[in-house]
Structure formats: C-alpha cells, structure tokens
Amino acid sequence: MKRLEMGTALAALWMASAAGAEQQPLADRPAVVRGDAARDAVTLPKVREVVLKNGARLLLVERHDVPLVAFSARVRGGALGDPLGKEGVAALTAELLRKGAGARNASQFADTVDGVGGALSVSPGRESLDIQGQFMARDTALMVELLADMLLRPRFELAELEKTRERMVSSLVAEKDGDPRGVIGLYFQAFHFGEHPYARPTGGSEASLATLQREDVLAYAKAHLGGDRLILTVVGDFDAKQLAARLEAALGGWARASTPVPVAPPTQPTQGRRVLLVDKPDATQTYFWLGNTGISRTDPARVEVGLANTVLGGRFTSLLNTALRVKSGLTYGAGSVVLTPLQPGPFAVSSYTKTESTAQALDMTLDVLSRFRQQGVDAAMLASAQEYVLGQFPPTLETGTQISAKWSELAFYGLDASDVDDYAKRVSQVEPARLLAAIQRVVPAPEDLTLVLVGKAADIREVARKYGPVTEMRITDPSFAPPRAAPSP
Amino acid sequence: MRRQKCFIASLMLLAGTAACAQGRAATVPAGAKTASAAATAAAQVRTRTLKNGLKVIVWPVPANPSVALYDWFRVGSRNERPGITGLSHFFEHMMFNGAKKYGPGEFDRVMEAHGGRNNAYTSEDVTVYQDWFPRSALETIFDLEADRLGHLAIDPKVVESERGVVYSERRSSVDNDNSGLLMEQVQATAFVAHPYQIPVIGWPADIESWKQEDLERYFRTYYAPNNATLIVVGAVTPEQVFALAEKYLEPIPSQPEPEPVRTQEPVQQGERRVTVRKLAQAPLLQMAFHGLRARDDDAPALDLLMRLLSDGDSSRLHRRLVEEERVAIQVTGYVGAGFDPSLSWLLVDLPPGGDLAKAEALLDEELAKVRTAGVTDAELRKAKNIVVADFWRHLETNDGRARALGTFEVFHGDWKKLFGAPERYEAVTREQVRQVAIKVFGQNNRTVGVLVPETDAGEAKQEAAR
C-alpha cells in the first residue's frame, strides 16, 4: 500500500469530531476557503430523544435507505472504574457481556447473532464501555432483546471468565510478537501518565489480568453497570415511535449503578524529557512515539488543534511525513495523533525507521516540531488544511454505524449537534494568529517530551541516551509500565 | 503481504455478499427489498469505453457530497519474475512521485489542497489507485490522474529514496511481524511454478536492485489505458465524468496487450511443510490450500464454507479450537480469489507455549468432518445471512460501492454480476459446499507452516556480559 491507515485513522477520528462551540462569534468574518466546502457541509440527522426513569438516554434516528439498523451504546465508567492493580477488569467484564446473557449461554448467544448475519462488538474504553451492533432491519426486535440481555442479564459464568481471561493474556503476548505499532501507544501512555489513571492499560496487562477473579467482575458490574450510565443511539430502518416503546420496555427496568461515575483528575503536560526504551532484541527497525499531554474533547481550541495536527502529521503531505518519508526515505510513514478523552490526552508523534537511522529520524522529528512551534502555518498551508479537513469530513458520516457512534459520542461529552453542524463554518473561519496560539499552547515542545522507543536495545541504547534519562524494559515484561527504578545513568 | 491479502480477502467476501432473495422471503420482506434495491442501483450505473480502450464506470449517488474514484490496473506480482519481484508494488509508490505538469510531491499536495485524499494497494493480480474527494475537486482529480498516466517521470534520485520507504514497509509488515513473515514463507512454498509464489512486497535483494530500465519498461507495458478500468461513485453525473474522461484521459495512447501469464500451477501431489524458527513468545500455525479463481462457479460455495468455518464466535473452527479445546487464541480464514487459482488460508494464533501438534490435529479433524459429513442447513442459512448483511454494509458507502463494482468488473468480467450475486449465493446447496470442501481442503493440497518460538537466552547472556 502507499501507506497504512492506522495513524491517519486516529487523526481522522479526531478531526471528525473536532468542531468548536465556545469560541468567539466569527460569523461576520470572511471565510478563507472556497464556498464549495461550506455549501456541501453535512449536518447530523435529527434525533428523537427519550430519557428513561432510570436515567438512560435513548437517541433514535430513522433512515430508510438500506434495510439495516445500527446502534451505539456507551456505558459511562469504563476502565476508570478498574481498582488499582486490577487493570483490565472493565475490559474482561465487557468481553463477558457477549459470553452468555439471559436465556442463552455463550454458544447460543453467538449462534443467534451470527445466524441472522448480525454484527455485535464490545470495546472496553478508558471512560466508557462501548457496544456497537448492526443487524438487518427485519431483526430489530431480536437486536433489542440481545442488547437488553447483555446489559441487564449477563451471566458471567466462571468457565467463560477463565477462558476469556486466559485469551486476553495470550493476545497481549501475541501482539508483542506482531507489529510493534500495535502496542507502542500502550507503553507511551503508561510511561507518560505515570500515577494518573490514564497511564493504566484499558485492556489490562499480563500481570494484572492474571489476578482477576469472578468476584472482581461481579463487583465491577454492580458498581459500574446501570441504567443511569447508558447512552444508546439507534439509527436505521425502523419506526422511531415503536422502537422507543420497545426499548423502554426492555431497558426501563435496569437498576442504577451502585457508585458514582468515576472521574479522572485533570492531566498536565510534563516538564523536561525522559525516555523509555523497550527492548525487542529481534527488531530490525526502531518504532517511536514522542509527545506530551494535549487537549480534551471539549477544548475550546479543538478545531484549531485539529488543523494543527493535520498540518503536522495528520495527512500524507504533513510536515512530518514530508520530511521523514517523502524527502528522505527513512520510513514508510510518519504522523501525529491527538487523543481526546474527558481530560487532556496525549498529543504524540509516531514513526519508525531501520535501526541504523534511529538518531537521524529522531533528530529530524525534533527539528520539525521546533520549526512548527516557532513558525506555525502560512496562509497557503492553512487554506490547504482547511480544504482537506472539510473535504474529508462528509464521508465520516455516511453510514448508520457512523451516525449512531457520532450521536453517542456527542452525548457522552455533553456536546450537541452544533459540534457537527457548525463544523464547516468553524474550520473555514480559523485564522493564522489563532492557529499559532493553539500550536504554541498544545503541540509538544521539544524540550518537554516523553519518548518511547521500541527496538533492539543493544544497538540503540547509546542513541536513546542523547534524548534524556533512559528507563529500560523488555518487551517480554508482563506489564506496560516500566519497573519503578531510577533511570539508568 | 498480510494486509493486502486481508484486503483482497474482504473483496472476495464482498463477492460473496449478496445472498438473500429467496431463503426466508415468505416471512422476511428484506429479501424482496434486496432484489428490488439491487435492481434500482443497477439501473443507475453507466459505462463508456474510450477510444484508447479505457473503460469508465459511473454510479451516481447524490446523498453525500463526496466522490470515490478507483483506477484498477491489471498488474500485480503475478506479472513479475526473479530479479524484478516487488516491482508492481514499487510502481504503486512511484505513481505518486512526479510527472510532467505536477512534479515530485505535487500530486498529493494539489489533491489535498482541494480536499482530496488518496491511497493505493497492490495484490498478486492488480494495482489499484483510490482517490476520495469532495465533488468540487472532480476536474482537478482528472487532471492529476491524466498527468501521471500520460507522463510519469521516473527520476533515479526519487527511485532511491522510495526504495527506502518500501524497505521500511517490508520491515513493518514482514520482517518485524511474525505472522507476516510466516505467510510469506508459506506462500512461497505453496507454489512451485506459478508467479503467485512471489511476495507482493518483493524479496529483499530485488527491492535493492530494481533498474531504471525495469521501471520504464514496466510502466510502458502495464500502465496503459487499455489495461485499466476506472470506477467513479458518488456526487457526480455520468455525463460530467464521461466528458472529463474524454478530455483528460482519452488522449493517452493505448499499448499492445501485455504478455499473458501462461504458467499454470501443476496439481499438488502431497503436503508441503515449512518451519520458521524465530525469537517469539507465541507459536503460529498456518495452512494454505490451492483454491479457486474468482470467476469459478464454485467460488460462492467456497466463500460460504470459509464463513461457516471461521467467521464469528459461532464458527466451527473458533468453537472447537478456541472455545472448547483452548489450543488457539484466534482462527482466521481468508479465501484468495484472483485471476488464477489462488490460496485459501487458515491462520491459527496459539497462546505462548501452545501445542502446535494438537492445534494441527484438531484442525485436521474439523476439515475431515466437513469433507465427509458436510454442513448443516442452519450453518448454510447462517453463512448466507452473513453474506447479505455484508452486502448492504458494503453498499452503504461510496467507497464500498466503488470497490464492489471494480471487483466484479475486473475479476468477474462484468460489474453487473455484483447485483446478480444474491441469486448465485442463494442457489448454493449443502452438497456443493461438501464437494468444494473435498476439492480444496484435502491434505495433499495443502502447505502447512509453523513458526516455532526461540527464546532470547543467547541475547540475554550477551546483555549480561555487556
């Protein structure tokens, strides 16, 4: 492939969700970009919203273009509800929701979903458990039944729990044998956020998963699953009034969770530099992330930060990809990602290069960062980034699955449709000075950086020391956090 | 390459997507809806073949103000030979590196400045260029595509730089990824004569030694309008697209038809095995079977069979190997479906310390069961239902529609077959599924690959001595 989509997918995810709400009104200023993009701006279809007595929020959108129904459920809490040392309990609980619920054991549940050609997935997130599904419209009633069984009547059978836990451990090990791009972000967050809950792996680690018992899962479910935690959006080929009644009957009896929603304390950018070196002795390439704390999903400057990320590392002609790939051939890809949870998450640059050119690629990356923070973006580059962001936005809201996920996301973060509907206008009105201010506030400063390198330590240990005090661990260590020890000299 | 294989596999799945019309039609209105909606969609598609042989297919879909463009070239690693392996994929990269009007880097710069994005992929059979853009950029996109197709510059300095990029891609997807590494070895072992033996990314020594004249000859031979098919789907009208295609692309001259690939893989006479020993924590087991070409009549039956073997938690292999016996953490199945008979894959990821012999024995047992006892009505119904739901999932987006049309036009010879797929899948019987299991999933027809972990004890000693 010309390039893989991984880095850009994250960036696009962010850009797709980047619209402003709290900025100064700018409606009377002239738009910088052509009128086409603004004219072709997409808006979210309206929802019918129902709030149940237990606090569950239902958002329904009728669409009749294809005979499908998609839903996106978010249950607040997520891995933030994991007790210390029990990382992964939310993820294990989430996995088990599909492993037997209501009248069906795990095998019958799978037969039922697959038998009608349904799709049903559970993603344990940092701050919510997310369940997504898509069924043929003819199976809408079955879909509601399965969802209600999962949420209200999970079985959490011991045998399924043990199997699932074992498989989660093995999968983490297998991922470490695979492409390091799949795991490097976990090491980065663990090292960067230190004692903060954002450091903890949402899927757990080999060490923490091994300790989990059925009572841990039951305790998590009692504390963190409940009607008051639910946001559910359904989009597709149905009658909204009928479906609302059906959902109310199915979910209205779900008790409230027994504890308040866990909230992460604020995060801050860190000062100075430090390096984590993860030894993968067979690697012929060094994979790296470097970055710092960025912004939250509701940051007032999120449109500007989205544009800044586009220019720096969010598209093929970005500054990073141009320097490290197009002009020097050091790598197959270089980019940047902005993850935006409820508190500011990481803003990180990522790339990889053959072991021998590790220092060259890192120096070049730091150079690009420095220049970007000093110089910002010129008028032509800003116009290009605006056009790009605007042009790529409409295809992110094509399908029922995309629209249901978007509505649930907005509701989760306390945002409304204007986040999408005013997006084109907001993007068009960004000006260089405001963009530069956002860049200098949010883009990591080269002197204040967390660096994570995954590669052959024997060959890059000395290189790593150039960039700050080094902490080392091995890829085979059963945790993503380094052992608590003083940095090596 | 692993990801490219996944992608082609998903195309084949799509090729298998459209069952439903009869089945439970009496009680389920979706069946009738599928047939009529497919007919409506088919009526909207327009085609035109330009004087230089380029076929243009347009599906206007006004719902979203964006457009997906796919340009398919019938060239892949199948057209390579020793010394120039990986060249098709390398060319995929070079097509972004400068032409006459738009110099190095300009293709991407101009496209992105107009709100567009692009990518491309190469398989054993085809190289495909994809552009996704707002409708306002339509003419610019044609100008860009015409420039590189008509006047590609192949600058030796750029070739050197791009070689580094491709080598980095190889390190990521093969050398530093155990599953990718094993797949490359299995594929190279499964074929003894046919160029499907060649990895799409190319062998390392060849990546380092492509010559300027290799590139120039390759471009002339394969990047001709008569060797391509252009698909445009989205907020456009056919008239608009045909007019732009005539203005920008028709002046590009056609070329003599490329030499056909004549080699056919001889029938395999017995199992082949390959072992990779490598630093790792977990072992891997892979099996590749010589299968079918995309347009074989049995392809839908094979697709349905693979789905009920490996698609979802209810599938036979997942249930037996992962849930019941716990010898694997994941089983993945892919049906390759190219111009020539292609490999069908079963990939088994084991836990650390996992028992390779036991995993293989269980896999053998399950495949033997399906060869002798066949499959149940419920399983076949399930596979057909998955296929129809996937059909609609793919047709929800301009991108999915463009892929689907291109797949059927290029691999099946006619885009219209996309809309006839429901009937073809619905017609598959249990006996056909059993027959295809006998034909494909036999022990004499397979290559077994294992990755055996080696510990890093030696490395650890060196570290301690440091």
Q: Which residues of A touch B463 (CB under 8 A)?
A: 457-458
**Has residue A19 got a pLDDT over 50?**
no
List the single residue in B116, B278, B311 with the smallest CB-CB distance to A282.
B278
Residue type, A232: L
pLDDT-derived band at A2, boundaries 50, 70, 90? confident
Residue where one domain finishes, among candidates A186, A221, A252 = A252
**Has residue B138 got a pLDDT over 90?**
yes
Residue A202 within any structural domain of the chain: yes
A340-369 residues touching B, CB cutoff 8 A: 352-354
Per-residue pLDDT averaged across A415-438, rounded? Answer: 95
Residue A246 to residue A231: CA distance in whole angstroms: 16
Q: Give yes or no for a contact between A319 and A295, defined as CB atoms under 8 angstroms apart.
A: no
What pLDDT was estimated at residue A171? 95
Residue B438 to residue A330: CA distance in whole angstroms: 48
Residue A23 within any structural domain of the chain: no
- Listed range (A268-277, A308-317, A399-408, B21-30) with the worst mean pLDDT: B21-30
pLDDT above 90: percentage of residues in chain B: 83
What pLDDT was estimated at residue B421? 87
pLDDT above 90: percentage of residues in chain A: 89
In this complex, is the C-beta atom of A387 within 8 Å of any C-beta atom belonging to chain B? yes
Domain of residue A292, residue span: 273-474
Residue A386 within any structural domain of the chain: yes
Residues contacting A260, CB < 8 A, separation 6+: none
> Does A194 share its domain with A277?
no
Q: Which residues of A touch B347 (CB under 8 A)?
A: none
Residue A27 within any structural domain of the chain: no
In this complex, is the C-beta atom of A257 within 8 Å of any C-beta atom belonging to chain B? no
What pLDDT was estimated at residue A119? 95
pLDDT tens column, A313-361: 999 999 999 999 999 999 999 999 999 999 999 999 999 999 999 999 9
Topology of the domain comprising B272-464: Cytochrome Bc1 Complex; Chain A, domain 1 (3.30.830)
Q: What is the average pLDDT value for chain B, to the nearest integer?
A: 90
What pLDDT was estimated at residue B269? 95
Residue where one domain finishes, among candidates A252, A283, A307 = A252
pLDDT-derived band at B389, boundaries 50, 70, 90? confident
Q: Which residues of A touch B116 (CB under 8 A)?
A: 388, 391
> Does A159 share its domain with A75?
yes
Residue A8 within any structural domain of the chain: no
A300-329 residues touching B, CB cutoff 8 A: 315-317, 322, 325-329
Residue B63 to residue B463: CA distance in whole angstroms: 61
More confident residue, A212 or B35: A212
List the single residue in A98, A138, A163 with the smallest CB-CB distance to B323.
A163
> Does A357 share its domain with A230?
no
> Does A139 share its domain with A229?
yes
Tally of domains within chain A: 2
Topology match between the domains B44-249 and B272-464: yes
Could you tell me the CA-to-CA distances from B54 to B225, B242, B248, B347 in Å, in that order?
A: 5, 11, 12, 38
Catalytic pick among B92, B124, B145, B379:
B92
CATH number for position A331? 3.30.830.10
What pLDDT was estimated at residue A85? 93
pLDDT-derived band at A37, boundaries 50, 70, 90? low
More confident residue, B405 or B23: B405
pLDDT-derived band at A4, boundaries 50, 70, 90? low
Binary contact (B171, A383; C-beta < 8 A) = no
Beta strand B127-134 pairing with B272-279: unpaired
Residue B438 to residue B458: CA distance in whole angstroms: 46
Binary contact (B133, A391; C-beta < 8 A) = yes
Q: How far is B371 from chain A (nearest CA, A)?
A: 22
**Has residue A39 got a pLDDT over 80?**
no
Residue where one domain finishes, among candidates A197, A217, A252 = A252
Residue A120 within any structural domain of the chain: yes
> Does A201 share its domain with A306?
no
Binary contact (A163, B462; C-beta < 8 A) = no
List the single residue in A34, A178, A326 with the smallest CB-CB distance to B178.
A178
Q: Supply B352's token pair.
A: 């650390």
Q: Between chain A and chain B, how many beta carbons pairs sit less than 8 Å apart?
A: 248
Q: Which residues of A touch B171 (CB under 8 A)?
A: 284-285, 354
Q: What is the pTM of this model?
A: 0.91
> Does A155 share its domain with A295?
no
What pLDDT was estimated at residue A24? 34
Q: Give yes or no for a contact between B447 and B288, defined as CB atoms under 8 angstroms apart.
A: yes
Report which DSSP code applies to B107.
H
List the single residue in B64, B326, B466 with the smallest CB-CB distance to A394.
B64
Residue A25 to residue A415: CA distance in whole angstroms: 18
Residue type, A261: V
What pLDDT was estimated at residue A28? 38
Q: How far is B163 from chain A (nearest CA, A)?
A: 7
Has B239 been annotated as catalytic?
Answer: no
**Has residue A478 got a pLDDT over 70?**
yes
Residue A488 within any structural domain of the chain: no
Residue A15 within any structural domain of the chain: no
Q: What is the average pLDDT value for chain A, to the nearest integer?
A: 91
pLDDT-derived band at A34, boundaries 50, 70, 90? low
> Does A102 share its domain with A235?
yes
b vs e for B165-195, b when ≥16 Cβ sit within 10 Å of the residue's Cβ?
bbbbbbbbbbbbbbbbbbbbbbbbbbbeebb
List the single residue in B114, B351, B399 with the smallest CB-CB distance to A170.
B351
pLDDT tens column, B324-341: 999 999 999 999 999 999
Q: Which residues of B touch A329 (CB under 8 A)?
A: 160-165, 168
More confident residue, B22 or B105: B105
pLDDT tens column, B261-302: 999 999 999 999 999 999 999 999 999 999 999 999 999 999
**CATH number of this structure's domain B44-249, picked from the four choices 3.30.830.10, 1.10.1660.10, 3.30.70.870, 3.30.2290.10:** 3.30.830.10
What pLDDT was estimated at residue A405? 98
> Does A219 share its domain with A190?
yes
Residues contacting A374, CB < 8 A, separation 6+: none
What pLDDT was estimated at residue A40? 81
Q: What is the largest CA-CA distance in chain A?
A: 68
Binary contact (A180, B160; C-beta < 8 A) = no
Q: Give the length of chain B.
A: 466
Residues contacting B262, CB < 8 A, separation 6+: none
**Has residue A303 got a pLDDT over 90?**
yes
Within its chain, how far is the Cα of A429 from the centroid?
Answer: 27
> Does A211 share its domain with A338?
no
pLDDT-derived band at B430, boundaries 50, 70, 90? very high
Interface ipTM above 0.85: yes
Number of neighbouring beta carbons within 10 Å of residue B122 = 26
Residue ranges of domains in chain B:
44-249, 272-464
Per-residue pLDDT averaged across B426-430, rounded? Answer: 97
Secondary structure (3-state) at B345 = strand
pLDDT tens column, B358-374: 999 999 999 999 999 99
A59-98 residues touching B, CB cutoff 8 A: 65-68, 98
- Listed range (A165-169, A275-279, B60-64, B453-457) with the worst mean pLDDT: B453-457
> Does A294 share its domain with A417?
yes
